[in-house]
Amino acid sequence: MSNRTQNKVVIITGGAQGIGFGCAEMLAREGAQVVIADINVEKGEAAATAIRVQGGEAVFRRVDVLKESDCAALADFAYQHYGQLHGLINNVGYYARVSLEQTTTELWDLYLNLNLRSAFYCCKFAIPYMQKSGSGSIINIGSIHGIQPASNIVAYGVAKGGLLSLTRSLAGTYAADRIRANYIIPGWVLSESEIALHEGLGLPEAELRAKGPSLPLGRHQTPQDTGHTAVFLISDESAQITGTIFHIDAGATTLPLR
């Protein structure tokens, strides 16, 4: 540990598991005080406890990011609990493989709200506290589908594309307040939801894991792979970086088209 995020107070939505937890763990290891915000109370409490057991500082807050009042209360809680707020990672997100014709209005709204409206809510209420704290760093967890359309993941792609636009808008609007915003594109992480989604499509976990060696850099990614970049972006090492896309996608976008 080299204290790269010492005393930075950071909210991580969907921090109970997967990529969100990987970010929380890495940030706490570097000295950050993390607020794990998740709808799953059992896993959220366990995640915060695991970080504290490792010697880090973490607290759990039950939040449904689909509710504006929950997101407002989350920002209030983080600021009151730690006295400052420097970071926000908008990580909650989900997708399903459905074509445009199969996308119902309910599904469209769900993916847009979960992946995009949630980030708008969290930014809206966190930014005033970052302004009071003197600086801030917002990380939006995007997707390759936000920049490269796929025919069977339309609503998710539109939402993640909107999230990129939100990122750039935040970067331009709040630079004078020393509040930065960046967009991370993670690679393929076999999180619980990713495994469940593929099992639903008839691909068992063992077969999914067997694909690792054939990926461009030879393995699936871990949540910590994204966590390393989150540490850099929350830390002052990235003080001059804003409005940018970070490809942690193991070269997926460099592959020649077949």
Ligand X SMILES: NC(=O)c1ccc[n+]([C@@H]2O[C@H](COP(=O)([O-])OP(=O)(O)OC[C@H]3O[C@@H](n4cnc5c(N)ncnc54)[C@H](O)[C@@H]3O)[C@@H](O)[C@H]2O)c1
Q: Which residues are annotated as catalytic?
A: 156
Max CA pair span of the chain: 53
- Tell me the window of 12-20, 78-86, 123-131, 232-240 that interacts with ligand X (CB under 6 A): 12-20
Say which residues have a Cβ less than 8 Å from residue 106's Cβ, sequence separation at least 6. none
CB of 36 to ligand X, least distance (A): 9
- Of the candidate spans 1-9, 36-44, 97-105, 239-247, the one that interacts with ligand X by CB under 6 A turns out to be 36-44
Query: CA 68 to CA 31: how far, in whole Å?
Result: 29
Pick the stretch among 11-19, 104-112, 126-134, 173-181 that binds ligand X (CB under 6 A). 11-19
Among 23, 59, 65, 155, binds ligand X (CB under 6 A): 65
Kindly compute the dihedral angle of the four CA atoms of residues 229, 85, 239, 173, in this order, to the nearest 10 degrees.
110
Among 8, 12, 18, 129, binds ligand X (CB under 6 A): 18
20, 136, 157, 227: which one binds ligand X (CB under 6 A): 20
Tell the smallest beta-carbon distance from residue 178 to ligand X (Å).
26
Length of the chain: 258
- Closest to ligand X by CB, 130 vs 144, is 144
63: closest CA among 31, 39, 35, 87? 39
Q: Which long-range contacts (CB under 8 A, 24 or more apart) does 232-238 make?
A: 232/4, 233/137, 233/139, 233/180, 233/182, 233/184, 234/5, 234/8, 234/10, 234/27, 234/32, 234/86, 234/87, 234/137, 234/139, 235/4, 235/5, 235/8, 235/30, 237/4, 238/137, 238/180, 238/182
| Total of residues contacting ligand X (CB under 6 A) | 27
CB of 121 to ligand X, least distance (A): 10
Which residue in 27, 35, 74, 92 binds ligand X (CB under 6 A)? 92
Contact pattern from residue 93 through residue 122 relative to ligand X, giving x for each residue in contact according to CB under 6 A and a dash for the rest? x-----------------------------
Which residues, 177 to 236, sit near ligand X by CB under 6 A? 186, 188-189, 191-194
Distance of closest approach, residue 20 Cβ to ligand X, in angstroms: 6
Give the whole-angstrom CA distance, residue 239 versus residue 256: 34
Interacting positions 140-179 with ligand X (CB under 6 A): 141, 143
Measure the CA–CA gap between 258 and 35, rounded to whole angstroms.
43
Q: Which residues here bind ligand X, judged by CB under 6 A?
A: 13-14, 16-20, 38-40, 43, 63-66, 91-93, 141, 143, 186, 188-189, 191-194
